[in-house]
Amino acid sequence: MNHLFPRHLLGIEGLTREAAIEILDTADTLSHEGVSVPATLQGKTVLMAFFESSTRTRVSFEMAAKRLGAQVVTIAPSTSSVSKGESLLDTVRTVAAMGSEIAVVRHARSGAALFLADRIATTIINAGDGTHEHPTQALLDALTIRRKLGRIEGLTIAICGDVAHSRVARSGALLLRLLGAHVRFAGPPTLLPPGMADAYGVSVYDRIEPALEGADVVMALRVQQERIAGNPLPSLREYNRIFGLNEQRLALAKPGAWVMHPGPMNRGVEIDGALADGPRSLVLDQVKAGVAIRTAVLHLVATHQALLG
């Protein structure tokens, strides 16, 4: 069954269309009412190594691992020897030596997941590395869209905001394009790096309005204040005035267009609170799909390990 799935999940880059669809299909299968989740991870230990803050990703991976029968251990920088200067590699290698088979890793450095996968035998799942990739976010976003619209092929999806710092935008564009969607990036020029159109096969806009025209789905990105250096924005109030997603702007999209946000949200900055809580919002559907996708990913990597013997 699992011949397509890679040993690690480091990014959407390198994932085949067939493997991506296998993850989405497995997520749906394991979510069906009455289907009992297999104890694929019984007797295994999953390490949650989060070197950056997280609510959605960390909690849903933990729930998914426990559903599959795993023991879960967590490293937090403030309460581990990371605070004494222990490196990422030494930290994960130490817990792997205690017997954890899978490490779910979030780190501020782009490439951190690949760095570990190249150096230790543990299966590495990338839970977000710097501005590079956040593959399970892209997968849960794709699952949310597929569940709501029944397909991804041929849809127009506008991803709007702080593209420069967004691993969600990068992984999302790679996956949605792989599945046949037309993807648009929109951001203020200071938050829109050059070369995105060629690198990701997307259409690029430096104003939000034309990017929304005729879109089936609009995803607002968080303004990542913790990663923003220099002074690329006059103020958050000004950002909201020029780029914030609101009812008036959403009216430019297709009638009935859906609104997404990966979270955490800056309400009143990149998205109006009323829109985020309104009937077109898929924000909580995304959160729900996160548990399903992470269950599928852990199940598939574990099955792959079993096949490897």
Residues that bind ligand CP in the complex, under the rule CB under 6 A: 54-57, 128, 137, 262-264
Rounded distance between C-alpha atoms, residue 11 and residue 113, angstroms:
9
CB of 127 to ligand CP, least distance (A): 7
C-beta of 16 vs 55, nearer to ligand CP:
55
Q: From the CA atom positions of the chain, what is the Rg in Å?
A: 19
C-beta of 254 vs 288, nearer to ligand CP:
288
CB of 293 to ligand CP, least distance (A): 12
Beta carbons of 243 and 283 less than 8 angstroms apart:
no
C-beta of 234 vs 264, nearer to ligand CP:
264
CB of 150 to ligand CP, least distance (A): 24
| Nearest by Cα to 302 from 31, 65, 127, 22 | 65
Rounded distance between C-alpha atoms, residue 250 and residue 290, angstroms:
25
C-beta of 26 vs 57, nearer to ligand CP:
57
Rounded distance between C-alpha atoms, residue 30 and residue 82, angstroms:
36
- Respond yes or no on whether the N-terminal peptide bond of residue 188 is cis (omega within 30° of 0): no
CB of 234 to ligand CP, least distance (A): 26
CB of 23 to ligand CP, least distance (A): 17
Rounded distance between C-alpha atoms, residue 249 and residue 208, angstroms:
8
CB of 201 to ligand CP, least distance (A): 23
CB of 137 to ligand CP, least distance (A): 5
C-beta of 47 vs 205, nearer to ligand CP:
47
CB of 108 to ligand CP, least distance (A): 12
C-beta of 40 vs 57, nearer to ligand CP:
57
C-beta of 69 vs 77, nearer to ligand CP:
77
C-beta of 40 vs 137, nearer to ligand CP:
137
